Amino acid sequence: MIIHPRHTQIIAISMLVILTVFTLAILVFIILFVFSKGLPYISFDFLFSNPEDMGKAGGIFPTLIGTIVLPLLAIIIATPLGVGTAVYLTEYTRENRITRIIRFGADCLAGIPSIIFGLFGFIFFVTTLEMGWSIISGSLTLAFMILPTIIRTSEEAIKAVPYSYREVGFSLGATLWQTVRKIVLPNALPGIVTGIMLSIGRSIGETAAVIFTAGSSLRIPNSVFDSIRTMSVHFYILAREGISSKNAYATAAVLIISILLINLVTYWIMNRFIAKKTK
Amino acid sequence: MPKIIKVKQLDLYYNQFQALKSVNMDVDNNNIIGLIGPSGCGKSTLLRTLNRMNDLIEGVKIKGEILLDGVNIYSSQMEIYELRKRVGMVFQRPNPFPLSIFENVSFGLKVERFTDKKKTAEIVEKSLQAAWLWDDLKDKLNESAIKLPLYQQQLLCIARLLAVEPEVILMDEPCSALDPIATMKVEELMLELKKEYHIVIVTHNMQQAARISDLCGYMLLGEMIEFGKTSDIFTNPRDKRTQDYITGRYG
């Protein structure tokens, strides 16, 4: 039987619509499910008071701090390393075997399960360098974990800047560094920030690498050498040890909301940034 | 002051492929020099050797000499950044940066680490005036340059170049993205600019070369077939190949 192209077109469109709706429905279902179980327990007290009885009662304040501090430090460490590497690879080297090996290495690192990074962080930072279970061990480990993502997304963003901009820069007597700093990086910024956002999301959601390196203390830390627990670790422990499933869901809901908020704020900032440039 | 450009026995290779074959060219006085020839004849390549833009391409080898006021621009006596400030370039596609009009024109000054704000504003005004844009744009200097119509973008690129006070202006088919009226305006501007600058223009448009150039070079397959006064080339070409090209037998 031969189907007329017009009909295959209609079939294709309906199939694609169904697939899209199905995918979205699953996502929405997950979020609604967590929200319906968790939202009722979220209150000001829950967010800003200390947990009691291992988290069975009380709030999640220390984990809120952990969730902010750990990824933030990781980003502060990883961004200059990652963007610097990306600039060097794209602008300062010609495509050759060494750049290909570095790129291949970054791709491999990006695909390594986070537990391996956790194990590495535990052996290297926590025990060998004697940093103990601490914010600094956790942040460094997370930084290494997200580094490949930042390198690769920054690279793509930098490559997407039209070559003609560079040509003009050079033709006006600018050095490569001036061209990179004044033209290439500002134009690649939206892409670079996207990579950073992805990485923030990934490190906020990370549990395995964090338990191994930052520990799971529920006390409020005094310095970066204290152990800390993030929200992800918190609800993992709550659920895993059967301490309190309602608090686990509530924490998960808070986590989802904060990731949504981070994304919204970033989009808002990016849009303002782009609007300002193309005004 | 007019600068003397001399190209001596210039060979250029892209890896194995020889794109320029012992090209010679001699320019004194302020002139518009037109380079014409069919696609792939090497005219853009020759243009880009004059400010060393070809250096950016992998596998380029150059033999021979290009002298700017007696100094070989490929020697260590001439710093490449200095050269590019003295020999500026206007590209085929208008390519303003996605910045404001003011920031575009002052870009070259920023490169120079020029920080005097008042002086910068003066130079921006002077450059925009010289490129005939000041009256149209003086009230919207902070608006984005990429929202301008194409021909104003191209004039803006010329203004951006004039701000660094070059001695030679290279133009790589500067009008090919513009409509005839805009093209005319750019040509008039070039005739004005030649009072102070050397202009070397590569063009696909033979009539354009005939209209505005004083000297003209006809290139074919990497060779400079004929170089001389434009009027001679178009009315009394010495070489049969030049004649065939300008009469439209091929190209």
Could you tell me if A172 lies within 8 Å of chain B, comparing CB atoms? yes
Could you tell me if A174 lies within 8 Å of chain B, comparing CB atoms? yes
Select the residue of A162, A165, A173 nearest B111 (Cβ to Cβ): A173
Q: What is the average pLDDT across B158-171? A: 90
Could you tell me if B123 lies within 8 Å of chain A, comparing CB atoms? no
The per-residue pLDDT for A51 is 81
* Contact: A174, B97; criterion CB under 8 Å: no
If pLDDT is split at 50, 70 and 90, which confidence band does A276 have?
Answer: low
The per-residue pLDDT for A277 is 60
The range of the structural domain enclosing residue B167 comes to 5-246
Select the residue of A165, A171, A279 nearest B88 (Cβ to Cβ): A171
Kindly state the tokens that stand for B76: 């260590």
Could you tell me if B113 lies within 8 Å of chain A, comparing CB atoms? no
Domain extents for chain A?
5-41, 44-277
* Contact: A182, B110; criterion CB under 8 Å: yes
If pLDDT is split at 50, 70 and 90, which confidence band does A278 have?
Answer: low
In percent, how much of chain B has pLDDT > 90?
6
In percent, how much of chain A has pLDDT > 70?
98
Our count of domains for chain B comes to 1
Select the residue of B53, B98, B146 nearest A171 (Cβ to Cβ): B53
Could you tell me if A50 lies within 8 Å of chain B, comparing CB atoms? no
The per-residue pLDDT for A235 is 86
Interface probe for A, chosen from B73, B103, B111 (most Cβ of A below 10 Å), is B111
Mean pLDDT of the residues in chain A: 88
Could you tell me if B147 lies within 8 Å of chain A, comparing CB atoms? yes
Q: What is the average pLDDT across B19-39? A: 84
pLDDT tens digit sequence for A42-58? 888 888 888 877 777 78
Could you tell me if A96 lies within 8 Å of chain B, comparing CB atoms? no
What CATH number does residue B227 fall under? 3.40.50.300
- Burial of residue A97 (CB within 10 Å: 0-12, 13-18, 19+) is exposed
Select the residue of B58, B81, B146 nearest A173 (Cβ to Cβ): B81
If pLDDT is split at 50, 70 and 90, which confidence band does A117 have?
Answer: very high
Return the CATH number of the domain spanning residue range A44-277.
1.10.3720.10
**Is the model's pLDDT at B141 over the cut of 80?**
yes
- Find chain A residues with C-beta within 8 A of B111's C-beta: 169, 172-174, 178, 182
pLDDT tens digit sequence for B58-72? 888 888 888 888 888
In a domain, B116, yes or no: yes
In a domain, B238, yes or no: yes
In a domain, B195, yes or no: yes
pLDDT tens digit sequence for B90-125? 998 888 988 889 888 988 888 777 778 888 888 888
In a domain, B251, yes or no: no
Q: What is the average pLDDT across B240-248? A: 84
- Find chain A residues with C-beta within 8 A of B82's C-beta: 173
pLDDT tens digit sequence for A194-211? 889 888 988 898 888 999
Could you tell me if A92 lies within 8 Å of chain B, comparing CB atoms? no
